[in-house]
Chain A
Amino acid sequence: MGRVANLYASAVGGKSRAQADTSGREAVERGTKPLLEVDGVTLQYKTKESLVTATYRVSFNVYQGDRYILLGPSGCGKSTLLKGVAGFLKPVEGDIRLNDRHIDGPGPDRMMVFQEFDQLLPWKTVRQNVLFPMKTCGKRECEDKADAVIEKVGLSKFANSYPHMLSGGMKQRVAIARAMAMEPDILLMDEPYAALDALTRRRMQDELLMLWDDIRFTVMFVTHSIQEAIIVGNRILVLSPHPGQVRAELNSDAHNRENVKDSSFADLEARINDMLFAEHAVVGAQGE
């Protein structure tokens, strides 16, 4: 929460929201202690016919400031895992803790950006959409914050437009702005760019990275595109399918858009590709 607050330092008169009340919180800030701990989590959900085990004993840690990627083919439970962290789904086994607090339900400290464009409330303007979940601040303070994030995502001109007047990319920007304005402990993104065209997606990835450079928020990002994972993330959790289990946890901080053509980038891409596809020989599961 503290890091995100920097964004508004100018807008709201330098009021610091970082109230390091416990030593645990301080350790998280220093990076010696994970922000989010996922510990042996098994997630199951019921369909009409059967009980599906989406993930089986998955463990990983996310530290403050991470751009943590969940990567895997469809059916590896990466979206389900994200829903577990968001609190929409209770693990049947294992524990998910955020800042040492057990997660037992959805809450605004873990704002989620969905893949679908209809996540915005159609009866509210862009500005009202960003303002809607904000309750903890005074009216003026909230409005300043909302305007600041809307400007950050470059939509100031459209602040009073309704969602149906925006393009897909703009709607996703609003969703990101709305999530950012809440200053969540962790931002959850469930394939946020999967429904966008390739050119817009590329621009959105770059914008997200620029935003991160600016505010250093913590984000968990689900994708099925290896390239997106390497460019956007600094750490990649590779999941194997049916049920989802941790296949590897890799570093990708050294790679970005500039060195896409380097051999090291290609090597990492090939390595992940082999992990996901060579041994399982799953044909056509990769969406890209």
Chain B
Amino acid sequence: MAVLKTSSAKTGGRTTRRAAEGIAAANEAGLEARPLITPPERPEIEGRPLDASNIGEVERPLSPWERLINISGVRRLLILVALAVAWQAYGTYVDNPLMFPTFVETMTALGTSILDGELPARALSSLYVLLIGYVIGIALAALLTSIAVSSRIGTDILSTLTSMFNPLPAIALLPLALLWFGLGIPSLVFVLVHSVLWPVSLNTHSGFLAVSETLRMAGRNYGLRGLNYVTRILVPAAFPSILSGLKIGWAFAWRTLIAAELVFGVSSSSGGIGWYIFENRNQLEIANVFAGLLAVILIGLFVESVVFRTVERHTVYKWGMQR
């Protein structure tokens, strides 16, 4: 402290008065009278901030290593590198390309498959089917939640249907779908719609319910009604929930699609990645099986960390709805 100014506090303040009243009140309430604790009297202190210029290091830039490790992408990359090294080491140790190809062998197989155009074609055909199912599923979810927000019976319909069908694995419907729609894209689309519809509508609906009353009133104060009100107030306000529904729906759909393709795969001309994996296993091209699995993972990672991440950055993060 640079300058200290002291003065004695006034006596007979609130504390002392309180003490006297307190004892009286305690007696009145029939409680055992205890000596009440009184804080000691202290001189008043007034100070001025010191000149801080010679304190020394107030702010120090982080070292390049510290800055690098602060990037979450770098940390994740390190994990991936560690996994690859472990894989390669174990593969070399086992030395059985039929059961467990090494990382290098898998990458070579992946490279060849990508270069000769087979894997990209398979991936595209998978993604094409996926997109159809995803879009139809979202459209149906939008319809269902619109009905649910506009009426009480609609809410009951939605919650009953979701609690019935959400736990039902989409792949379990595949035999039925094959019976109804035959071998081909329609059956795949059917199971995809089933896997997307329920999680998306469940999340969207709970997102709508969580929109604050103030925001709703503000929207109605503008004179917004009906569909305008839903699209301009409810949907953006519930966007964090809707987005997480879309993410879950995507993951469910991707999983379901690969599994469904493994079961029958060949739709008209070319099968998808699931069928590629199944084919290569039959031909004992295990490195290719690994490459196919890796492709499934990579596409999943890409959609999750590039597509959805970009959408999030431009919406919920920018709006401060999510950190």
Contacts and interface: CB of A to CB of B under 8 A. Distances in A.
Contact of B236 (A116, A120, A123, A165): A123
B320 A163 contact: yes
A118 B220 CA distance: 15
B223 A106 contact: yes
Contacts of A119: 214-215, 217-218
Interface in B207-251: 212, 214-215, 217-218, 220-223, 233, 236-237, 239
Interface stretch (A46-54, A55-63, A107-115): A107-115
B212 A116 contact: yes
A132 B233 CA distance: 11
Contact of B215 (A107, A110, A121): A121
Interface residues of B, number: 18
B315 A112 contact: no
A164 B320 contact: yes
Interface in A115-138: 116, 118-123, 132-133
A118 B319 contact: no
A122 B321 contact: yes
Q: SS class of chain B's interface: helix, strand, loop or mixed?
A: helix
Contacts of A111: 221
A140 B309 CA distance: 35
Contact of A114 (B217, B220, B319): B217
A244 B222 CA distance: 28
B217 A123 contact: no
A88 B320 contact: no
A108 B222 CA distance: 5
Most buried by B among A119, A120, A123, A163: A123
A86 interface: yes
A172 to B, nearest CB: 12
A210 B319 CA distance: 32
B214 A106 contact: no
A195 to B, nearest CB: 11
A88 B220 contact: yes
Contacts of A114: 214, 217-218
B215 A118 contact: yes
Contacts of B319: 122-123, 162, 164
Interface residues of A, number: 22
B318 interface: yes
A153 to B, nearest CB: 17
A86 B319 CA distance: 28
Nearest to B224: A133
Contacts of B221: 86, 106-108, 110-112, 133
A121 B236 contact: yes
Looking at B221, B239, B319, the one whose CB has the most chain A CB atoms below 10 A away is B221
Contact of A123 (B214, B223, B239): B239
A116 B315 CA distance: 23
A226 B255 CA distance: 63
B214 A165 contact: no
B320 A116 contact: no
A106 B320 contact: no
B217 A106 contact: yes
Contacts of A132: 222
Contacts of B321: 122-123, 164
Contacts of A112: 217-218, 221
Contact of B220 (A106, A116, A120, A123): A106
A118 B218 CA distance: 10
Nearest to A83: B217
A88 B221 CA distance: 8
Contacts of B315: 123
A221 B214 CA distance: 17
B320 A107 contact: no
15 contacts: A106-B217, A106-B220, A106-B221, A107-B221, A111-B221, A112-B217, A119-B215, A121-B215, A121-B218, A121-B236, A121-B237, A123-B236, A123-B321, A162-B320, A164-B321
